[in-house]
């Protein structure tokens, strides 16, 4: 069996196939000659400060020129992060947008504010890195697409950072090259065991800090977690959801929250003949992040930074056997007969590092980033459809006007 597997690997080239990353290069693109982008962060909560820390590894590309948050303690915490000493602080994002010295903004505010802040930033002439999910609802997604199309010299990138990892580019390439055959089933989970709450220094700040718990501000688990996997399926298969079914409830944390702590969504991709299952709970962390793509020739099982390919028995058999002494690179299979997916750029960096590098490239080359306003809109539509199905016990269907190009 070992010689058969080596022959399979040799003939399919699974370990040596070229890897395309943003811009079609083997590594994240080097800084263009245009110099640093003066960038500001609007929203200095957990995600905003997380991206600030990533920017410290990209000082050849970015200079942090502004910080904005309407909570003073968050601004103070953001100022403690290295490389932000010269950044001007703001409590009103509109004042930040008026600053002509700022080229670009990262928007990491609550979901219900994404559309208005991004719209204002584009109208102010800024380059925009907008956290996922792109918008709170479908009408906002449609309007933001129209506005971005009217401003071709500005970039709007959406922060679906996980699929910016070279691992996910490799998986997209493997799908295209037929390693999986005909994919019919996709299983996704993102589970946690915890309330998902942040500490609140005083009761009046409950809804501002724990906005994810309240439907006025949040798309809940579908927007905050499952949107990443939904976006990857759209992007990798160049598709969209045709029908969405869903259910859920506040099944454990009876603490006044409005968004569900336990959800399950089923998506039908009609043209591809696929069913996608997307689930998340706050009541059990055993599976954590789980992502499986199941096809007639093989299965890919993904974590955030690891992937394994499991060929079906018939996939191996079709290649036959060869002499045991092949001189092939030694292959390490896992205990279940899976082959670790390699990219050639280990150790992998955080997905946000690759995403921000692509943002810099897109701005300077005036080219569409890989996670752009169109892919972001398709993911936002899917999330909104999922939430409508979950909360209204309805079957949501894709409409032709959602086909953003």
Q: Contact at 8 Å (CB) between 372 and 156?
A: yes
Tell me how crowded residue 213 is: count the other CB atoms within 10 A of its CB: 23
Q: Which two tokens stand for residue 361?
A: 């490239």
CATH topology for the 37-162 domain: Rossmann fold (3.40.50)
Q: Which two tokens stand for residue 131?
A: 């956290």
Gap between the Cα atoms of 292 and 322, Å rounded: 31
How far is residue 341 CA from its own chain's centroid?
20
Tell me the C-alpha to C-alpha distance, in Å, between residue 293 and each of 105, 124, 237, 318, 353: 35, 42, 11, 21, 25
Gap between the Cα atoms of 345 and 376, Å rounded: 26
Number of H helices, E strands in the chain: 13, 15
Could you tell me the sign of the dihedral formed by the alpha carbons of 258, 259, 261, 265, in that order? positive
pTM of this structure: 0.91
User: Which of 299, 298, 300, 303 lies closest to 287, judged by CA?
Assistant: 303
206, with CB counted inside 10 A (0-12, 13-18, 19+), is: middle
Taking only the tens of pLDDT, the chain with its 405 residues reads 555 555 555 555 554 444 555 554 334 333 344 699 999 999 999 999 999 999 999 999 999 999 999 999 999 999 999 888 889 999 999 999 999 999 999 999 999 999 999 999 999 999 999 999 999 999 999 999 999 999 999 999 999 999 999 999 999 999 999 999 999 999 999 999 999 999 999 999 999 999 999 999 999 999 999 999 999 999 999 999 999 999 999 999 999 999 999 999 999 999 999 999 999 999 999 999 999 999 999 999 999 999 999 999 888 877 544 322 223 344 556 667 789 998 888 789 999 999 999 999 999 999 999 999 999 999 999 999 999 999 999 999 999 999 977
| Domain 163-199+209-350+372-402: CATH superfamily, name plus number | Dihydrodipicolinate Reductase; domain 2 (3.30.360.10)
Q: Do domains 37-162 and 163-199+209-350+372-402 have the same CATH topology?
A: no
Gap between the Cα atoms of 85 and 79, Å rounded: 6
Domain boundaries, the chain: 37-162, 163-199+209-350+372-402
């Amino acid at each position: 069996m070992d010689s058969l597997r080596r022959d399979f690997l040799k003939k399919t080239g699974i370990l040596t196939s070229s890897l395309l990353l943003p811009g079609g290069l083997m590594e994240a693109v080097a800084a263009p000659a245009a110099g640093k982008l003066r960038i500001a962060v609007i929203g200095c909560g957990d995600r905003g400060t997380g991206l600030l820390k990533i920017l410290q590894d990209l000082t050849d590309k970015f200079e942090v020129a502004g910080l904005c948050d309407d909570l003073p303690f968050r601004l103070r915490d953001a100022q403690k992060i290295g490389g932000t000493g010269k950044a001007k602080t703001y409590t009103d994002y509109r004042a930040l947008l008026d600053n002509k010295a700022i080229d670009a903004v990262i928007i990491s505010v609550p979901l219900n504010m994404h559309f208005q802040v991004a719209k204002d930033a584009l109208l102010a002439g800024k380059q925009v890195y907008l956290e996922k999910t792109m918008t709170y609802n479908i009408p906002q997604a449609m309007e933001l697409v129209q506005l971005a199309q009217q401003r071709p010299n500005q970039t709007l990138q959406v922060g679906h950072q996980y699929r910016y990892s070279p691992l996910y580019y490799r998986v997209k390439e493997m799908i295209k090259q037929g390693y999986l055959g005909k994919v019919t089933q996709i299983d996704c989970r993102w589970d946690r065991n915890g309330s998902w709450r942040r500490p609140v220094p005083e009761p009046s700040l409950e809804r501002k800090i724990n906005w994810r718990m309240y439907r006025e501000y949040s798309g809940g688990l579908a927007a905050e977690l499952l949107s990443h996997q939904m976006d990857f399926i759209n992007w990798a298969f160049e598709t969209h959801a045709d029908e969405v079914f869903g259910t859920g409830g506040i099944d454990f944390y009876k603490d006044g929250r409005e968004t569900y702590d336990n959800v399950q969504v089923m998506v039908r991709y009609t043209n591809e003949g696929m069913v996608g299952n997307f689930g998340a709970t706050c009541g059990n962390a055993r599976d954590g992040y789980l992502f499986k793509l199941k096809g007639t020739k093989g299965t890919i099982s993904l974590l955030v930074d690891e992937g394994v390919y499991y060929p079906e028995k018939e996939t191996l058999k079709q290649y036959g056997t060869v002499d045991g002494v092949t001189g092939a690179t030694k292959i390490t299979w896992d205990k279940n007969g899976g082959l670790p997916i390699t990219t050639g750029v280990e150790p992998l960096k955080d997905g946000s590092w690759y995403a921000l590098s692509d943002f810099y490239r897109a701005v300077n080359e005036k080219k569409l980033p890989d996670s752009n306003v169109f892919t972001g809109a398709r993911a936002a539509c899917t999330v909104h459809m999922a939430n409508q199905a979950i909360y209204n016990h309805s079957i949501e269907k894709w409409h032709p006007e959602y086909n953003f190009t």
